[in-house]
Amino acid sequence: MRHLKYNQLSVEIAASDRELGEAAAADLANVISEELAKKDEIAIIMALGAAQDAFYTAIKARSDIEWSRITVLHVDTYMGVAESREESGASRMRKHLLDEVKPKAFFPMRGDHEPVEEELARYTKLYNELDPVLCVVGIGNSGHLAFNDPPADFDTRDIIRVVFLDETTRKQIDSRGYFKSYEEVPRYGLSLTMHALLKPKRVLALVHDENKAGVIKQILEGPVTFMCPASLLQQSPNAVLYLNEPAASQLSPR
């Protein structure tokens, strides 16, 4: 594992996806153990992306995570898509992790609830009451965190918002085959804001895609700008970015 620092952000570069997943899972387990030593129950925020495959495998292999004392929140969802549908991130996260580890509770966003203002209010209340201690997030092709596409709002203190999904993000979603065609990919989503994602005591970001090497270089070596939302991680001392060598392949030698 290579250890680098970009501004206030710690970056861990793994030689393989397995090493990446196991290191991030150990980090998560340590944070959970520390927090459960102080509280009866905690909440965490989880995402599901390509880089989470090795991470979820490593999590499920561990026996030291007390899931019965953990409530899980989700980072984003497609607007108009029920959380029970197989296309939804919530449904896939249940299938790939939660049905097996069995947390105390899981509160996904209800992308099909109307009026949407009620769902924003419900999730804001949940977030504030549960006060999550850890957030796991991926980084999109546009440099987004969750569905905070550029230009992202760095200043809002809202917890959740309706967001417009830009073309880059919709093409990325389409490439995964969750929807039958690009035209069926929703144009809007519900997403935790940058503030809500980066507020927990620990933030773990995971990227393993070689095709994201360019945006990783921009995030780490470029300026902090709302046109590359994940660049805000540079100013987040509570965050760790986990990469494999392909995702880090365009970084300048240090």
CATH of the domain at 91: 3.40.50.1360
Tell me: pLDDT of 50 over 60. Answer: no
Question: Within a domain: residue 235?
Answer: no
Question: Within a domain: residue 14?
Answer: no
Mean pLDDT of 89-101: 92
- 124-148 CB burial, b ≥16 within 10 A, e <16: bebbeebebbbbbbbbbbbbbbbbb
194's tokens:
């940058």
**Which pLDDT band holds residue 49 (cuts at 50, 70, 90)?**
low
Over residues 129-140, the pLDDT tens digits come to 999 999 999 999
| Domain enclosing residue 127, as ranges | 24-136+147-208
Question: Within a domain: residue 70?
Answer: yes
Mean pLDDT of 31-41: 98
**Which pLDDT band holds residue 178 (cuts at 50, 70, 90)?**
confident
Worst-scoring range by mean pLDDT, 14-18, 60-64, 132-136, 175-179? 175-179
Helix (H) or strand (E) holding 191: strand 188-192
Question: Within a domain: residue 18?
Answer: no
Question: Within a domain: residue 17?
Answer: no
Over residues 112-167, the pLDDT tens digits come to 999 999 999 999 999 999 999 999 999 999 999 999 999 999 999 999 999 999 99
